[in-house]
Amino acid sequence: DAGITQSPRHKVTETGTPVTLRCHQTENHRYMYWYRQDPGHGLRLIHYSYGVKDTDKGEVSDGYSVSRSKTEDFLLTLESATSSQTSVYFCAIKSLDRPGQGAIRMAFFGQGTRLTVV
């Protein structure tokens, strides 16, 4: 939707291995986000980016790193996957209602990546 592609869509990996998830957007949005979704917790922000090479931590950033070397790509890396990182990961982009007013309208989410760490 809205030019957001997440890859892979499903992945099973072993504990201790590194994993990278990719989010690709085609509409040149400045802000991009990574969330994880777990039952009973809603969506929790992992990291976000407000421009190329500009990133910041969210509420559950431990064990995750991100990179954004191009506007269109935002990568999420699990340096050493653990079973607690089994989750569904969503990428999102921000579209402002009226640029300059600061209010956020996060209209678009990707389809999600289901990651299982065994």
Through-space distance between the first and last CA atoms of the chain, rounded to whole angstroms: 30
CA 11, CA 32: separation in Å to the nearest integer?
22
The verdict on 63 binding another protein (CB under 8 A) reads no
Tokens of 109: 């989410």
Closest to 93 in 3D by CA, of 34, 42, 38: 34
Region of 16-24, 60-68, 70-78, 100-108 interacting with another protein (CB under 8 A): 100-108
Q: Interface with another protein includes 52 (CB under 8 A)?
A: no
Residue 64 in the binding site for another protein (CB under 8 A):
no
Give 50 or 70: the residue with its C-beta nearer to another protein.
50
CB of 2 to another protein, least distance (A): 10
Contact flag: residue 41 with another protein (CB under 8 A): yes
CB of 90 to another protein, least distance (A): 5
* Residue 40 engages another protein in binding (rule: CB under 8 A): yes
